[in-house]
């Protein structure tokens, strides 16, 4: 496979460490604590800003961070929705939020029961991304120094409705050798047309305070729908972004979404930040 950098755009209006999703010519960005969602059109004009979790509160500590934060697009009753997983610091409960992408109304679900089951099954985890693969919700459990192994967690797309019995299956994420680094999953997106799972990864040297930058990677897993039911998911292609273009140097890749897809070809948005705390979006093309 080949990867080419096409464009870069700074997005100054969003805090560091966000997730992004693209649907129906609209880009949705959710900040690091899942408190705000911003919608942009393809000309990067702001369409809407909506509060999600943890409204402005002087008692909320800056930099408060959950170990369970992710977004993806789901369809519920034929209506497209943005699924946001996060921790609501106001009532100390983990929540799933469904944002109707037609009118931006939202539903909230307390998912503490599922969170506790996940904690008991997986142990130490740090979930930062999600995707839907053939009706299943795929969560990335990011590798870090206290739990040095990446996992994919498979559950039901509507797990929040039946939390006691929702599936929880773990699949090991088999990376090619990376040089003397702990490399963790940071972003995830699925191409139905190609059956590819696209993942961004970040080395542990990138500090949580965003004052340092590590090495960023992009991985492609082919035949993903078959691999999510196996015990191990093997990466087919791994790109070390810093080696491919100087434009990536100094940025931490935080999230990925698909801009458009054709047979054996994807155009992707990569959300990144740098040590100055600025957000930017890279546009790249991946093709066989």
Q: In terms of Cα–Cα distance, which of 89, 222, 228, 96 is closest to 151?
A: 228
Report how far apart, in Å, the C-alpha atoms of 159 and of each of 111, 118, 254, 283 are.
9, 12, 25, 32
Q: Are 268 and 259 in contact (CB under 8 A)?
A: yes
Q: How far is residue 245 CA from its own chain's centroid?
A: 23
**Which segments in the chain show pLDDT lower than 70?**
13-17, 33-34, 54-67, 89-91, 143-148, 177-182, 204-213
Q: Which residues contact 220 (CB under 8 A, 6 or more apart)?
A: 1, 196, 197, 198, 199, 235, 236, 237, 286
Report the alpha-carbon distance of residue 173 to residue 151 in Å, rounded: 5
pLDDT of residue 155: 96
pLDDT of residue 25: 94
pLDDT of residue 172: 87
The CATH architecture one would assign to domain 2-54+67-287 is: 5 Propeller (2.115)
Report the alpha-carbon distance of residue 37 to residue 127 in Å, rounded: 19
pLDDT of residue 169: 93
The residues spanned by each domain of the chain are: 2-54+67-287
Q: How far is residue 233 CA from its own chain's centroid?
A: 18
End-to-end alpha-carbon separation of the chain, Å? 4
pLDDT of residue 143: 59
């Amino acid at each position: 496979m080949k990867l080419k950098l096409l464009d870069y755009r700074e997005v100054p209006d969003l805090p560091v460490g966000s997730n992004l999703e693209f649907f129906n010519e609209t880009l949705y960005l959710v900040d690091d604590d899942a408190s705000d969602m911003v919608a942009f059109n393809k000309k990067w004009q702001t369409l809407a800003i909506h509060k999600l979790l943890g409204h402005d509160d002087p008692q909320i500590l800056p930099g408060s961070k959950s170990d369970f934060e992710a977004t993806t697009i789901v369809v519920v009753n034929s209506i497209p929705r943005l699924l946001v997983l996060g921790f609501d610091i106001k009532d100390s409960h983990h929540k799933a939020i469904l944002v109707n992408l037609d009118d931006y109304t939202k539903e909230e679900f307390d998912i503490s029961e599922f969170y506790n089951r996940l904690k008991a099954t997986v142990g130490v985890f740090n979930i930062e991304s999600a995707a839907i693969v053939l009706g299943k919700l795929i969560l990335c459990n990011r590798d870090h120094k206290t739990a040095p192994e990446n996992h994919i967690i498979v559950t039901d797309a509507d797990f929040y409705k039946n939390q006691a019995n929702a599936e929880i299956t773990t699949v090991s994420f088999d990376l090619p050798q990376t040089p003397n680094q702990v490399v963790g999953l940071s972003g995830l997106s699925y191409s139905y047309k190609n059956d590819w799972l696209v993942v961004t990864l970040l080395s542990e040297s990138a500090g949580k305070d965003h004052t340092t930058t590590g090495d960023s990677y992009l991985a492609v897993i082919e035949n993903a729908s078959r691999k999510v039911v196996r015990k191990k998911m093997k990466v087919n292609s791994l790109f070390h972004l810093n080696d491919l273009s100087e434009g990536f140097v100094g940025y931490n890749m935080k999230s990925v979404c698909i801009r458009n897809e054709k047979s054996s070809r994807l155009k992707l948005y990569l959300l990144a930040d740098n040590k100055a705390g600025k957000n930017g979006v890279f546009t790249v093309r991946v093709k066989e």
